[in-house]
Chain A
């Protein structure tokens, strides 16, 4: 019987000067551990929200959806704020019985919100089974995170009301991380049966009950009096306010209309100068320069079919310049698809491809492109990636590659991106606590976000998931990344650092590393003006 796994600690800050988040983490946790007696009850928390299309946790991918989802639902397990430990949520204990079997024991007496059509009934293992099965359904117009469990589970059994037994087909190393993923929440089947999907209704077991939901304006939640974690939440109400214009949003924060807000980096110095706490979080969304995708149905084309061309591009790109120009220094460089702070999965700094213009020119000449070539780069507009695209153009011009920028509105960009029909693009990738989230959906055999037809990499990606021994798995994940750096389908530009402002009257809140984690159940307010 193996105990609940402990992800190894990883350092997430490269530069020492950015230690603020670390200090805040330590400080705040001690305050909470010392006692909930100084917690004040009541008040409304206002948080800046991002654009949402819908709030169905199984269908959507944007983190604003999770801002809603995490108020109203719970999961079996969850990560702590820096992603290093898995903690219980709905499951009070769990164990891995053997290589293929995981058993979870639910807390008894957890009730859904007392809202029709669920009406406050008790959560049982059947609900867990239903939710996981729904999450991994492969149907059109649906499930983004199906790849977590699809074709990996042999069975989900519910021997009694509070016990769930998962059996995987083969040893599946990512299993627990996926169970603890912010997306794997437990929903109620009655809501799905009544409304067809969960895009506009959120009825779960969570600390807050949804009172109002207006998609492009705000969502309002009130305290769940029957929440299963006794004593929580402290707040009476949570309001997610959608402010699309970043300048207006920062002004709203300065004007004390929002309590927690994502901030633009250009505004951070002046807000910090006003003695307001700003957490600097290295995000999980690296910016990537992609070259032409290919698979069995879509063969690659010149010039990108030549490995040397791709390697030349890699050698001509200098990551630091992106961080300076696009983010004013707020970012970290990368050594591969797994961000550098995720140790031990990330490659060491020594593995980073070298910036070498001479080598780039030599490789181009060897591939037959001594005088360079012309190509097109698509990017979604508006956004920072348009700026990154300009830096790419400028850098590649130095080795004779003429890049024509084609910014396009998001709808068209996604269209081209997912029909895998482009020569180059600048893209925001997704990663997660589970390391394979950084490469399986991109370079694996059934990848969705990108297509790369290198069969050796496919095989290795399939294999690494089956290795339960962490040390061996790390080795294989490193091997995969080294192969990717050599094959160079993409160049990993940088990982942005994002900023979240927290007003001084918001207590007991540590901004989590994972921007997808939006749980406010332990926050209380002290000193907020009404």
Chain B
């Protein structure tokens, strides 16, 4: 299936994909794209409305919003990728072991998952942030750990669905080692739900960071994170200088939108059960 055909079949997903490509490109090319230094304080340039020299205006420290939004893409990507990597890795370990071995292993691990899920997500985040203190790395860790439990459940059910498959039984019957079976048969088949989970998780991480910022636990200044810009000076100067909040807000929305659309499209494409409606297309 050519890429173009896929994109035409799933226009929303294509749009999402384009947005994400744009996001990644911005993040990678930030030093080239950004016209100003995002953290330098320039008190003579405070609160300027968008103009030619500052297309998106300046904030209360005199920093260029465009540059901060561009560098913010880096922070968002780091956050998202880091958090998702951690949570997917942990969730995969737990989910695969739980689903594959079943029995007592499953019961014990499930109790663990239950315990983790007994804490509302936010509580986990706050507690971890309180333990570790502020900092980009700590936020990534907190978001990663916080997202593990739910993802573990999802991965576990995916593994369970596969376990019933015949060829797994055959593999075991012929004496294949467990880890081999997992690597060769289980993992590739759960790759699809994992990819979907990861893509959606990226959007969740970005949103969660902005909520943490609002409560005072996010990425510390002067790092330009979209969430901090939106919940900090953006809110304070909402009436006087709305551009401080509007542009990071749009950035967050576009990024989350993009990840979600992409994730949806991936799910639709990769899950054979979901392709086409009752009238039986594809």
Interface residues of A (CB under 8 A from B): 246-247, 264, 266-267, 269-270, 321, 324-326, 328, 381-382, 386-387, 389-391, 393-394, 405-409, 411-412
Kindly identify which residue among B46, B216, B221 contacts A324, using a CB–CB cutoff of 8 Å: B46
- CA–CA, A394 and B39, complex, Å: 9
Q: In the complex, A394→B38 CA distance in Å?
A: 12
Bound together, the chains give a CA A210 to CA B237 distance in angstroms of 37
B193 within 8 A of A: no
Q: Which residues of the partner chain B approach A270 to less than 8 Å between Cβ atoms? A: 239
B133 touches A408 (CB 8 A): yes
Residues of chain B within 8 A of A267, CB atoms compared: 239
Say yes or no: is B264 at the interface (Cβ < 8 Å to chain A).
Answer: no
CA distance A343 to B222 in the complex (A): 38
Q: Return 27 A-B CB contacts under 8 Å, by A number.
A: A246-B236, A247-B235, A247-B236, A247-B238, A267-B239, A270-B239, A321-B41, A321-B43, A325-B41, A325-B43, A325-B46, A325-B61, A326-B60, A381-B216, A381-B220, A389-B221, A390-B41, A390-B221, A391-B61, A394-B41, A405-B221, A405-B222, A406-B134, A408-B133, A409-B134, A409-B216, A412-B130
User: Is residue B121 within 8 Å, beta carbon to beta carbon, of the partner chain?
Assistant: no
Docked complex Cα distance between A249 and B118 (Å): 34
Are the C-beta atoms of B220 and A407 separated by less than 8 Å? yes
Among residues of A, the one whose C-beta sits closest to the C-beta of B126 is A409
Specify the chain B residue showing the minimal Cβ separation from A324: B43
Contact, CB under 8 Å: B134 / A408: yes
A226: min CB distance to chain B, Å = 45
B-side interface residues, number (CB < 8 Å): 24
State in angstroms the CA–CA spacing of A324 and B47 once bound together: 11
User: Whose C-beta in chain B lies nearest to the C-beta of A246?
Assistant: B236
Which of chain A's residues has its CB closest to B40's CB?
Answer: A394
A269–B61 touching, CB < 8 Å: no
Q: Does B137 contact A (CB under 8 A)?
A: no
Q: Shortest beta-carbon distance, A112 to chain B, in Å?
A: 41
Per a CB cutoff under 8 Å, which of A264, A325, A390, A409 touches B217? A409
Interface residues of B in 46-82 (CB under 8 A from A): 46-47, 60-62
- Interchain Cβ contacts within 8 Å, total number: 66
Q: Which 3 A-B pairs have the closest CB atoms?
A: A382-B216, A394-B41, A407-B220
- Chain A residue nearest to B223 in the complex (CB): A405
Chain B nearest Cβ from A357, distance in angstroms: 15
Nearest CB of B to A272, in Å = 13
Q: Would you call B62 and A325 a contact (CB within 8 A)?
A: yes
Please tell me if B2 contacts chain A, counting CB pairs below 8 Å: no
Shortest distance in angstroms between A150's beta carbon and chain B's nearest beta carbon? 35
Instruction: State the main secondary structure of chain A at its contact with B.
Output: helix
> What is the CA–CA distance of A264 and B217 in the complex, to the nearest angstrom?
21
Q: Give the chain A neighbours of B221 by CB distance below 8 A.
A: 386-387, 389-390, 405, 407
Q: Which of A266, A407, A409, A411 contacts B240 (CB 8 A)?
A: A266
B148 to chain A, nearest CB (A): 24
Bound-state CA distance A394–B40 (Å) is 7
Report the bound CA distance from A291 to B60 in whole Å: 27
Complex contacts, A321 vs chain B, CB 8 Å: 41, 43
Closest to B44 in A: A324
Pairwise interchain contact B60-A328, C-beta atoms closer than 8 A = yes
Across the interface, name the chain A residue whose C-beta is closest to B217.
A409
Q: Are B133 and A412 in contact (CB under 8 A)?
A: yes
On whether the beta carbons of B133 and A390 are closer than 8 Å, the reply is no
Q: Chain A's nearest CB lies how many Å from the CB of B125? A: 13
CA–CA, A393 to B62, complex, Å? 15
A169 to B166, CA, bound (A): 94
- Indicate with 1 or 0, residue by residue over B205-226, a CB within 8 angstroms of chain A CB atoms: 0000000000011001110000
Cβ-defined partner of B236 (8 Å) among A266, A324, A389, A406: A266
Look across to chain A and name the residue whose beta carbon is closest to the beta carbon of B241.
A266
The smallest beta-carbon distance between B48 and chain A, in angstroms, is: 13
Q: Which of B220, B222, B237 contacts A266 (CB 8 A)?
A: B237
For the complex formed, measure the closest distance between the CB of A502 and the CB atoms of chain B, giving whole angstroms: 20
Taking a contact as CB atoms under 8 Å apart, the answer to whether A266 and B239 are in contact is: yes
Smallest CB-CB separation from A384: which chain B residue?
B236
Note all chain A residues with C-beta closer than 8 A to B216. Answer: 381-382, 409
Please state if B61 and A390 are interface contacts (CB–CB under 8 Å): yes
9 extra A-B contacts, CB within 8 A, seeds A266-B236, A267-B239: A324-B46, A325-B61, A382-B216, A387-B221, A390-B41, A391-B41, A391-B61, A407-B221, A409-B216
Q: Which residues of A contact B62 (CB under 8 A)?
A: 325
Complex CA distance for A394 and B236, rounded to whole angstroms: 22
Residue in B47, B221, B232 with the greatest tally of chain A CB atoms within 10 Å: B221
Give the distance in Å from the alpha carbon of A352 to the alpha carbon of B253 in the complex.
49
Closest to B216 in A: A382
CB distance from A399 to the nearest CB of B (A): 15
User: Hey, which chain A residues are within 8 Å of B239, CB to CB?
Assistant: 266-267, 270
Closest to B240 in A: A266
| A381 contacts across to B, CB distance below 8 A | 134, 216, 220
A408 to B236, CA, bound (A): 21
Kindly list chain A residues whose C-beta atoms are within 8 Å of the C-beta of B129.
409
* Distance, CA A394 to CA B61, complexed state (A): 11
Given contacts A267-B239, A394-B41, A409-B130, contact A325 B60 (CB under 8 A): yes
Bound-complex Cα distance A406 to B221 (A): 9
- Greatest chain A CB density within 10 A among B47, B60, B130 is at B60
Bound: A247/B217 CA distance, A: 18
Most buried by B among A321, A390, A411, A412: A390
Identify the closest chain B residue to A408 (Cβ): B133
| Contact across chains for B61 and A264 when beta carbons are under 8 A apart | no
Closest chain A residue to B134 by CB distance? A407
Contacts of B217 in A (CB 8 A): 409
Give A240 to B43 CA distance when docked, in angstroms: 38
* B99 CB → nearest A CB, Å: 39
B residues in contact with A407, CB < 8 Å: 134, 220-221
User: Is there contact, CB below 8 Å, between B220 and A269?
Assistant: no
List of A residues within 8 angstroms of B237 by Cβ: 266
* Cα(A394)–Cα(B133), bound, Å: 23
Docked Cα-Cα span, A394 to B239, in Å, equals 27
B236 and A264 within 8 A (CB): yes
Could you give, for residues 138-176 of chain B, a 1 whenever the CB lies within 8 Å of some chain A CB and a 0 otherwise?
000000000000000000000000000000000000000
State the CA gap A405–B60 with chains docked (Å): 19
Chain A residue numbers with a CB within 8 Å of B41 are 321, 325, 390-391, 394
Question: Please, which residues of chain A bring their CB within 8 A of the CB of B133?
Answer: 406, 408, 412
Is the beta-carbon distance between A390 and B60 smaller than 8 angstroms? no
Q: Taking CB as reference atom, which chain B residue is nearest A407? A: B220
Query: Looking across the interface, which residue of chain B has its beta carbon closest to that of A267?
Result: B239
Distance between B223 CB and nearest chain A CB, rounded to angstroms = 10
In the complex, what residues of B have CB within 8 A of residue A394's CB? 40-41
Q: How far is the CA of A406 from the CA of B220 in the complex (A)?
A: 8
CB of B140, distance to nearest CB on chain A (Å): 17
The distance in angstroms between the C-alpha atoms of A406 and B222, with both chains bound, is 11
CB distance from A296 to the nearest CB of B (A): 30
Chain A residues with CB under 8 Å of B220's CB are 381, 386, 405-407
